[in-house]
Amino acid sequence: MENGKTELHFENGQIEIADLVIGADGAFSRVRPILASEDISYSGLTMLEMNVVNAAVNHPDLASFHKRGTVFALDEGKGIIGQLNGNGTIKVYVGLKVNRDWLDRCGIPFNKPKKAKEAILDLFGDWDEQLKNYIRYAEDTIIPRRIYMLPVGFKWQRHPRITLIGDAAHLMSPFAGEGVNLAMFDAYHLALAIMDNQNNVSKAIEIYEEKMFAYSSEAAAESKANLELCFGDHAAERLMNVMNSYKNKI
Ligand SMILES: Cc1cc2nc3c(=O)[nH]c(=O)nc-3n(C[C@H](O)[C@H](O)[C@H](O)COP(=O)(O)OP(=O)(O)OC[C@H]3O[C@@H](n4cnc5c(N)ncnc54)[C@H](O)[C@@H]3O)c2cc1C
């Protein structure tokens, strides 16, 4: 608008006038295209998300195999990742290095979870039974996701009254384990910058974006490298070497 404000049109027909627009609308942000022409791209990885609920009680064999934290089981181009969450659920991610259209043509009936789980287990036919239990014991909801990312070092032309935070600003694969931390860190830095520059929103955006572009590019580079490591050649051996290098530093 001529006065520098932004007019927002919502699907329900509502129109709002804003002094400052913060796009916190995730991977498929509707705000990002106002600032940048570059778009997200498919990372080459598709993940099937499942949940083993209350693992310690319902599946003590898996809970005792899993122990705490996260288990990565990797082979060439595929893996099973189990992540113990605070509520006792093990989040299970089956990761597959496949073309973008794999979900459309794989023939797995994700709306019929029992059949779908059988088909997913077939993908891991010769794997250890304890690892297959992550899939076998999962509840009957499977969420298939293509993993998208923005280019490492993604930036946009600064706008005096519009900015982005979280995945809208720096979508990356989940392999830096930083997505939620970064989203909260962005909100923190932007809020501080606004508090310190209450009469100068443009300055606040500049201060926030300078900081955010630096730390988010680092995480994006790490995430890309880890994705390539986990789903590239000799993944298990290479990840073990990385873990051992940390162990040696402790
Ligand atoms: C498989 C997978 C595993 C992950 N694991 C981890 C992990 O272990 N640790 C970690 O830190 N991160 C993880 N992440 C990343 C993490 O989920 C994201 O980085 C984080 O959710 C980003 O938060 P956000 O608020 O920016 O975006 P989102 O969580 O996507 O929130 C955006 C919100 O905007 C809403 N929205 C979008 N468009 C509109 C619109 N037009 N109008 C109104 N509302 C809209 C959406 O409905 C949504 O509620 C994982 C991601 C994936 C895909």
Dump pLDDT digits (tens) for 140-164: 899 999 999 999 999 999 999 999 9
- The predicted pLDDT at position 245 comes to 87
pLDDT band at 15 (very low <50, low <70, confident <90, very high): very high
| Tens-digit pLDDT profile for residues 69-111 | 999 999 989 999 999 999 999 999 999 999 999 999 999 999 9
What is the reported pTM?
Answer: 0.94
Residue at a domain's end among 115, 148, 181: 148
- Whether residues 47 and 142 share a domain: the answer is yes
| Tens-digit pLDDT profile for residues 165-175 | 999 999 999 99
Q: State yes or no: pLDDT of 246 exceeds 90.
A: no
Distance 167 CA to ligand 1 centre (A): 6
- Whether residues 53 and 140 share a domain: the answer is yes
- Whether residues 127 and 194 share a domain: the answer is no
| Tens-digit pLDDT profile for residues 179-210 | 999 999 999 999 999 999 999 999 999 999 99
Residue 96 included in any domain? yes
Number of H helices, E strands in the chain: 10, 9
- The predicted pLDDT at position 213 comes to 98
pLDDT band at 27 (very low <50, low <70, confident <90, very high): very high
* Distance (Å, whole) CA 90 – CA 138: 9
Distance 194 CA to ligand 1 centre (A): 23
- Whether residues 30 and 68 share a domain: the answer is no
- The predicted pLDDT at position 123 comes to 97
The protein residue whose alpha carbon is closest to atom 39 in ligand 1 is: 25
Q: State yes or no: pLDDT of 248 exceeds 90.
A: no
The minimum-distance atom of ligand 1 relative to the CA of 181 is 11
Among 51, 94, 167, residue to substitute to test ligand 1 (most atoms within 8 Å of Cβ): 167
Q: State yes or no: pLDDT of 48 exceeds 90.
A: yes
Give 79: exposed, middle or buried? Use CB within 10 Å, 0-12, 13-18, 19+. buried
Ligand 1 pocket (Cβ < 6 Å) reads 24-27, 30, 47, 49, 93, 145, 166-168, 174, 177-181, 183
For residues 93, 97, 99, 104, the Cα torsion angle rounded to the nearest 10 degrees is -30
* Owning domain of residue 93: 43-148
- The predicted pLDDT at position 167 comes to 98
- Mean of pLDDT values over 204-223: 97
The minimum-distance atom of ligand 1 relative to the CA of 47 is 1
The structural domain count of the chain equals: 2
